[in-house]
Chains A and B, each alone.
Chain A
Amino acid sequence: MSGAEGSLAVVGDPREDLLVLDDVHTHFDLGRNFLSRESKGVVKAVDGVSLAVKEGEILGLVGESGCGKSTLSRTIIQLIRPTSGRVWFKGHELTAMNDAEVRRERIDFQMIFQDPYASLNPRMTVLDTLAEAVRTRHPDLKGDALRRRVAELLRTVGLNPAHMKRYPHEFSGGQRQRVAIARALAPEPKLIIADEPVSALDVSIQSQILNLLKRLVRELGLTMIFISHDLSVVRYISDRIAVMYLGRIIELGSAEDIIDHPLHLYTKALMSAIPEPNPRAERARERIVLSGDPPSPLDPPSGCNFWPRSPVPHDDRMKQVEPPFEEVLPNHWVAACPFCVSERVKAVEPA
Chain B
Amino acid sequence: MPPPISAAEIADEALVEGSSLWKDAWSRLRKNRLAVGSLFTFIFIVLFCIVGPWISPWEANTQDLFLGATGPSAQHWFGTDTLGRDLMVRVMYGGRISLLVGLVATLVALSIGVIYGATAGYVGGRTDSAMMRFVDLLYAIPFTIFVILLMVAFGRSLWLMFVAIGAVEWLSMARIVRSGVIGLKKQEFVEAAVSLGYSHRRIILRHLIPNVLGPVIVIATLTVPAVMLLEAFLSFLGLGVQPPDASWGVLINEGQQNMEIYPWLLIWPAAFFATTLFCLNFIGDGLRDALDPKSAKD
Contact = CB atoms under 8 A, between A and B. Distances in A.
17 contacts: A77-B195, A106-B195, A111-B192, A113-B192, A121-B189, A122-B211, A123-B213, A124-B206, A124-B210, A132-B196, A144-B10, A152-B5, A155-B5, A156-B2, A165-B18, A166-B17, A180-B192
Nearest to A116: B188
A111 B192 CA distance: 7
Given A113-B188, A115-B188, A148-B10, A166 B18 contact: yes
A167 interface: yes
Nearest to A106: B197
Contacts of A125: 18, 20
Interface string A208-251: 00000000000100000000000000000000000000000000
A167 B21 contact: yes
Nearest to A117: B188
A152 B7 CA distance: 12
B207 interface: yes
Interface string B199-223: 0000000110011010000000000
A186 to B, nearest CB: 8
Given A107-B197, A170-B18, A119 B189 contact: yes
Interface residues of B, number: 33
A164 B207 contact: no
Contacts of B292: none
A118 to B, nearest CB: 4
A75 interface: no
Interface string A148-183: 100110011000111111110110000000001001
A205 interface: no
Contacts of B4: 148, 152
A107 B5 contact: no
A151 B191 contact: no
B19 interface: yes
B293 interface: yes
Contacts of B7: 144, 148
A109 B197 CA distance: 10
A310 to B, nearest CB: 35
B13 interface: yes
Interface of A: 74, 77, 79, 103-104, 106-107, 109-111, 113-115, 118-125, 132-133, 136, 144, 147-148, 151-152, 155-156, 160-167, 169-170, 180, 183, 187, 219
Contacts of B5: 148, 151-152, 155, 161
A163 B198 CA distance: 25
Nearest to B297: A169
Contact of B19 (A151, A164, A170): A170
B21 A111 contact: no
Nearest to B214: A123
A152 B2 contact: yes
A197 B249 CA distance: 60
Contact of B16 (A74, A113, A148, A165): A165
B14 interface: yes
B1 interface: yes
B75 interface: no
Among B4, B196, B197, B293, the one with the most A-chain Cβ atoms within 10 Å of its Cβ is B196
A219 B192 contact: no
A219 to B, nearest CB: 7
Nearest to B2: A155
Nearest to A144: B7
A163 B19 contact: no
* Interface SS of B by simple majority: helix
Interface of B: 1-2, 4-5, 7, 9-10, 12-14, 16-21, 187-189, 191-198, 206-207, 210-211, 213, 293
Contacts of B198: 132, 136
A29 to B, nearest CB: 13
Contacts of A151: 5, 9-10, 13
Contacts of A161: 5, 10, 13
B17 A123 contact: no
Contact of A147 (B10, B206, B210): B10
Contacts of B197: 103-104, 106-107, 136, 187
Nearest to A109: B195
B293 A110 contact: no
A113 B13 contact: no
Given A104-B197, A144-B10, A122 B192 contact: no
A163 B16 contact: yes
Contacts of A113: 188, 191-192
A77 B197 CA distance: 11
B196 A164 contact: no
Nearest 7 CB-CB pairs, A to B?
Answer: A166-B18, A162-B13, A106-B197, A119-B188, A113-B188, A123-B210, A155-B2
Contact of B191 (A79, A123, A124, A148): A79
Contacts of B189: 118-122
A118 B14 CA distance: 25
Contact of A119 (B16, B192, B206): B192
Nearest to B20: A167
Given A106-B196, A122-B211, A165-B16, A111 B191 contact: yes
B132 to A, nearest CB: 18
A165 B17 contact: yes
Contacts of A103: 197
Among B4, B9, B14, B197, the one with the most A-chain Cβ atoms within 10 Å of its Cβ is B197
Contacts of A122: 21, 189, 211, 293
A291 B195 CA distance: 39
Contacts of A111: 191-192, 195
A117 to B, nearest CB: 9
Nearest to B3: A155
